[in-house]
Amino acid sequence: MRILLVEDEAPLRETLAARLKREGFAVDTASDGEEALFHGKEIPFDIAVVDLGLPKLSGMDVVKGLRDAGQKFPILILTARSRWQDKVEGLKHGADDYLVKPFHVEELLARINALLRRAAGWSKPSLECGPVKLDLAAQKVTINDGPTDLTSYEYKVLEYLMLHAGELVSKADLTEHIYQQDFDRDSNVLEVFVGRLRKKLDPDGSLKPIETVRGRGYRFAIPRNE
């Protein structure tokens, strides 16, 4: 999952970015409104977390600018002011949720996961396709209620594919949304991850959860349960 984190307070931005990376997000940060709008228009993010009080361009204007540019990814606003007026205003201008400062990082992570799920058309907190169940909050995958042990990169690939279950996901897309900017994109690491995932999810080859669309990408083939 690629996330845009916009926050002008350096200590908070760095702490949050580090935590988000630990949680498996590809994190891009911006420290002012103009930078945020520039990144937001260029890169296909999965979600953005935007502080309202920003230098150069206010968070509210960033949200408006992103929506005007046609960006549809969910946006969560952070605000130090808890007045209802500010909340209503932010949501009206295109944000999808708000969080009042200060907050528990766990709360922020839960909100981000919920927004990602909702944006992909999932309403329950866990993604279920046939026997495969992926718990977004716990980052755990089970098959027929039996635990499956995945590495963090394997989990990230599966999470992205399952969020978009039924849709075609190109390799470029997958790389873009999973890796940090500095990752070597020409390697065939992705194919290795997908190969390992197939073995772990479907040891006896009966399930065929991930389909390769030659020359175009992958698709999670088991239909959604909901």
Partner 1 sequence: MSATRRALSLHARQLISASLGLIAFLGLTGVALDKAFQNSLINNMQERMARYASVYWNEIELDSEGRIIKEQMDSSPDARFENFRSGLYAQIEGRGTSWQSGSVALFSLPALTPGEAGRPAQFTGPVTLRTGEDTTIKAYQYTATSEFSSSAGPVPLKLRIYEDEQEILGQIVEFRKSLWIYLVVAGLLLVLVQIVILRWSLQPLRVLEHDMQSLQTGKLQRLSNAYPLELKPISGSINALIDSERSNLEQSRNTLADLAHSLKTPLAVLQAHIENDVDNGTFRDDVAQQLMRMNDIVSYQLSRAARSGHALYSAPVDVLPHAESIVLSLEKIYKAKGIYCEFEIDAKSQFSGEPGDLQELLGNFLENAFKWADRRVLLTARPVYEPAAKRPGLYISIEDDGKGIAAEDIGKILQRGVRGDERVQGHGIGMAIVQDIINSYHGELAVDVSPELGGARFTITLPCLT
C-alpha 8: how far from chain center: 21
Minimum CB–partner distance for residue 81 and partner 1 (Å):
9
Minimum CB–partner distance for residue 85 and partner 1 (Å):
5
* Six token digits for residue 35: 């930078």
If the CB atoms of residues 102 and 205 are measured against partner 1, the closer one turns out to be 102
Which among 144, 130, 151 is positioned nearest to 209, based on CA atoms? 130
* Strand 217-220, strand 210-213: pairing: antiparallel
State the Cα–Cα distance between residues 84 and 119, nearest whole angstrom: 24
If the CB atoms of residues 46 and 96 are measured against partner 1, the closer one turns out to be 96
Minimum CB–partner distance for residue 38 and partner 1 (Å):
26
Minimum CB–partner distance for residue 122 and partner 1 (Å):
9
SS3 state of residue 93: coil
Query: Which residues bind to partner 1, rule: CB under 8 A?
Result: 82-85, 87-88, 91-92, 96-98, 100, 102, 104, 114, 117-118, 123
Taken in order 85, 86, 92, 95, the sign of the CA dihedral is negative
If the CB atoms of residues 85 and 144 are measured against partner 1, the closer one turns out to be 85
- Start-to-end CA distance of the chain, whole Å, equals 22
If the CB atoms of residues 18 and 168 are measured against partner 1, the closer one turns out to be 18
